[in-house]
Structure 1
């Protein structure tokens, strides 16, 4: 058994060796150890978290509310507080919608799709009239409307049906698993897109986002695309968590016999067993990663999650990805495209098809409102450190207290905001519909060295509504129960 002094030294050494948040320390501070020495944790800018949030939209789909109820959809985006959408399309009407959104501070991550004939040069097959990507942005959409260009979408799934003309000699095989011609295609497409965007002074400021894959999920796909690190600004992954994660040693936990296999919690693919980074990051080297598609569907084919669980998961999802270093995370998607309750593709939205708000929309809107920073230096100031640690005393059966996760943020006014949540699976996916699981709270103490004049709490209920109030600071300690919904503690130095 280590002495407390030796343990504290180990914690300090770990801080030197790695970039830690309080949640990294939690596994060391559980069990029989009642408290721990607080240590400095440098905050992230609150504005950077808000800036990482993005939603997928389809403003080129005329049979959906994106077009038929554009004004209301636009207002719902404004009310949500999101600054980024991800979309693809062509045409003057489509461009005018994106321009309207940019005028209120919502910019577009534009997906360059050969299906629309939008390509870096004429050597690529495209459907319809050919348009070069930088000309499209300069002359039709606007260089102040788009802030990133994404190279293709799930090329490994879509290339046979969309990206080649039927019968053309470029299609070497009808079996995508026996011929990986699409790999050389997407590599060339990425390089030429980079050259087109960065070689034009009018578009050189835009970020180039690497291509995504849709079906090449296993570790055998590692670096399938080769090294693209010199022709992208950001890497990319589509890491939907609702399918669980089979790439781990199975263990029983929280009523699930194979916890990662049969759970669908937001960090299932990116944290303890991070196959998303392991498989996709190598192609992009040390470049920052994005997740341009992730999220959940409700109802649908019977396997979708409930709206209640959706409301718990979505604020956690954005915090989880930000916590793991993703610079942009795009939920798929903003609204239910059609009123088709049994169609999973029609039920990914934060809003229902009639544009009423699901709990996930309400919860995310409240988190964004809480964390947005109106300070003039919100994007540039240097955050400070807060000396603190977490002590988690888990209830019986919940010994993995490392699943109490946290992100420390700071605003320009000096206030710290510590977001806490228990990233636990609220579903058992072995049954249809998924079995709902309720979990006990995780009693947690925030041990502080930094002098705090006031602490207040922000919690979410099952409908996504906020509940706020003050909380006592006793002997440099704040005690609270961390649940499976996000709690934000404001700490005023």
Structure 2
């Protein structure tokens, strides 16, 4: 059986409460059935060319590695000065160690010195700034930072989860207040010269069904997606939620590019329904897969919640204190190692000869791919391709509160041409190859419940 290459997850009708917030854990998970490939999403969301559906033997345009890494973000709380974020140097070092640069945080405020943000910006961090209740002050401080360190402000975002954290505005409350504030945020950013070209992300937590357009309010539609019950990010048929696809589907009517400004799992294992607590190894699988699912669906950027465990919680009393990629003592969890391995593998390249031009498409075929599996084709600067494969089988037993490892899927890959070398990587294991093959066109590969990478050097790859 032939499987669509670089397929887009199927997008059922969305129940906004099921994916909108880490605080909505009592909401009933959305249930869906069916295959993962739906070409209509590419049209409705103007999905990037490399993420559009292509069938067996069709040339698939690769997403440049730099463009993929630029979709990867993480949430920080530099303004939380009574816990792990008080050491801003750790924040800078951790971001550099991960190989990431995009963070989402509130604009500078009274609890954190402006100099902390300058320090991070000078070390390559780019901010998506959440606006505080004082819109004028927030926008002005963002402009000041972008002036001090040009290019350090990547986006401005409206109020956060107004269903959970309502902000009164000009005599209004609830959704009307949030929508009115968002229009004013948009107008103020557009009229601030120091923020010229900086996009505005929509607010989150308003009633999507009652709002038909975001014209004059946002450049990017915005959602949050928190997989419940230890689910995978996108495929959990027949009894689980399609969290990232449902989040995208809920805002596709706005026909804007999409960002997901919160996504994550907390590493405090739990059992039962509606919980999202898993062990650290399962957290790593879910976040790696979420990064890939998001890019494959054409999401502009996804921010993992969050960089650090905010405060010490040795007795596991609060799941909120365990979302970090790093523990409270700044030691990396498995997810941090996995993300570092991922970016290290993708950034490693040789120097191509200037006169050579590498092809940008690959006519690969995947046979025997189950509907729970997916692929994304990337390309390094030196012309080598990286084919990411992952299979979203069950990873958590919600009744027992323990991890599950399902057998991998045996998939046959045809690269459409002879590959001089194929190196197989597992980011959960290391940044070194776990297997290598030479002079092959076809290769059987076992695809596990998390991302693996096939680095493909074709026989005619220039400069390698």
Quote how far apart the aligned CAs of 1:315 are.
Answer: 1.3
Pairing 1:365–2:383 present: no
Question: Are the structure 2 counterparts of residues 439 and 63 from structure 1 closer, same or farther at C-alpha, using a change threshold of 3 Å?
Answer: same
Pairing 1:280–2:217 present: no
Root mean square deviation, CA, Å: 3.4
Map of 2:23 onto structure 1: none
Contact 2:345 2:431 in 1 (8 A): no
Q: How high is the TM-score relative to the length of structure 1? A: 0.74
Map 1:80-229 to 2 at 5 A: 80-88=98-106, 89-91=108-110, 93-114=112-133, 117=134, 119-120=135-136, 131=137, 133-139=138-144, 142=148, 144-159=151-166, 163-164=167-168, 170=171, 181-213=173-205, 221-229=207-215
Map 1:389-408 to 2 at 5 A: 389-392=365-368, 401-408=370-377
Structure 1 residues not aligned, in runs of 5+: 27-36, 121-130, 172-180, 253-257, 262-267, 394-400
Query: Going by fraction, where is helix more abundant, 1 or 2?
Result: 1
Map 1:315-354 to 2 at 5 A: 315-340=288-313, 341-354=316-329
Contact 1:375 1:413 in 2 (8 A): yes
Contact 1:222 1:278 in 2 (8 A): no
Pairing 1:269–2:276 present: no
Map of 1:384 onto structure 2: 360
Give me the whole-angstrom Cα distance separating, in 2, the residues matched to 1:15 and 1:137: 39
Q: Which digits, 9 at most, give the CA deviation of each residue in 1:394-435, with x for residues without a partner?
A: xxxxxxx02121110012211100011111220133x2x534
Structure 2 residues not aligned, in runs of 5+: 7-36, 43-48, 459-464
Map 1:227-246 to 2 at 5 A: 227-243=213-229
Contact 1:46 1:373 in 2 (8 A): no
Give me the whole-angstrom Cα distance separating, in 2, the residues matched to 1:376 and 1:84: 26
Q: How high is the TM-score relative to the length of structure 2? A: 0.79
Aligned partner (choices 43, 58, 65) of residue 84 of structure 2: 65
Give me the whole-angstrom Cα distance separating, in 2, the residues matched to 1:15 and 1:54: 26
SS at match of 1:292: strand
SS at match of 1:438: coil
Quote how far apart the aligned CAs of 1:321 are.
Answer: 0.6
Q: Which digits, 9 at most, give the CA deviation of each residue in 1:438-463, with x for residues without a partner?
A: 100111111122342221111134xx
Question: Are the structure 2 counterparts of residues 61 and 386 from structure 1 closer, same or farther at C-alpha, using a change threshold of 3 Å?
Answer: same
Question: Are the structure 2 counterparts of residues 251 and 138 from structure 1 closer, same or farther at C-alpha, using a change threshold of 3 Å?
Answer: closer
Map of 2:29 onto structure 1: none
Give me the whole-angstrom Cα distance separating, in 2, the residues matched to 1:8 and 1:312: 23
Give me the whole-angstrom Cα distance separating, in 1, the residues matched to 2:51 and 2:195: 40
Pairing 1:447–2:447 present: no
Map of 1:409 onto structure 2: 378
Q: Which digits, 9 at most, give the CA deviation of each residue in 1:34-60, with x for residues without a partner?
A: xxx632111111111100111101101
Quote how far apart the aligned CAs of 1:476 are.
Answer: 1.6
SS at match of 2:195: coil
Contact 2:104 2:129 in 1 (8 A): yes
Larger gyration radius, structure 1 or structure 2: 1
